[in-house]
Structure 1
């Protein structure tokens, strides 16, 4: 059986350690071994900063993604849509609209005006 040793911690630190230990490991010894192994294996000190956190990296990524979306929308508005419209107009099967000349007179076929009428003689009607 392994022997135990007493280490003195402040009450608040001991409580934090016990809560952490209960949530992740079976015993306090396993917890302390895992913590020490982590620092030794990764060759880092608990006092040094590891760099930006996940939240700050996420915020930076979201800003960059929003900037890329804005660039893509601008390209669509200024380049893609006008180009597509020009290409569609080239491939449309409709012929050009024929505009009438200024000198050309338009005659409506539906309403023909009678130019000449016979004179009625009031004597012949009786």
Structure 2
């Protein structure tokens, strides 16, 4: 069996250590060994701060998220909505009057000439028939 040694602690610290070791370990020796191993293997000092806690990280993330939301709202107001409105107004513009193609113009003129010629011949025939009476 291992031998024990007495170490002097203040009463408050000794009570805190006893409560901690009872809840997490079987003996005070195991608790002290685990704490010493933790600091040794992780190469940290008990006097060092390990960094921000969960609450401070959560608060900083919430602030950043709120800032991103504000930026997105600003972009939507100043860029997205006006651009969408301009594009919509372009599509809603009245259609330009339909101009016939050059080929269509030429075909229309030819049809008019054919009608005139046919009309003149028909008119002349009627004149000839009327004169013969």
Q: TM-score normalized by structure 1?
A: 0.62
1:57-92: CA deviations, max 9, x gaps?
322222111111100111111111222233334445
Q: Say if 2:97 is the partner of 1:85.
A: no
Task: Determine the structure 2 residue equivalent to 1:30.
Answer: 30
CA change 1:75–1:13 in 2 (3 A) is same
Task: Determine the structure 2 residue equivalent to 1:59.
Answer: 59
Q: Say if 2:74 is the partner of 1:41.
A: no
Distance in 1, matches of 2:35 and 2:82, equals 61
Displacement of 1:8 after TM fit?
Answer: 1.8
Distance in 2, matches of 1:4 and 1:86, equals 85
Distance in 2, matches of 1:93 and 1:29, equals 86
Distance in 2, matches of 1:20 and 1:94, equals 81
Distance in 2, matches of 1:8 and 1:71, equals 59
CA change 1:80–1:29 in 2 (3 A) is same
- Alignment: residue pair count: 96
1:82-109: CA deviations, max 9, x gaps?
222333344459879xxxxxxxxxxxxx
Structure number with the higher helix fraction is 2
Distance in 2, matches of 1:23 and 1:84, equals 64
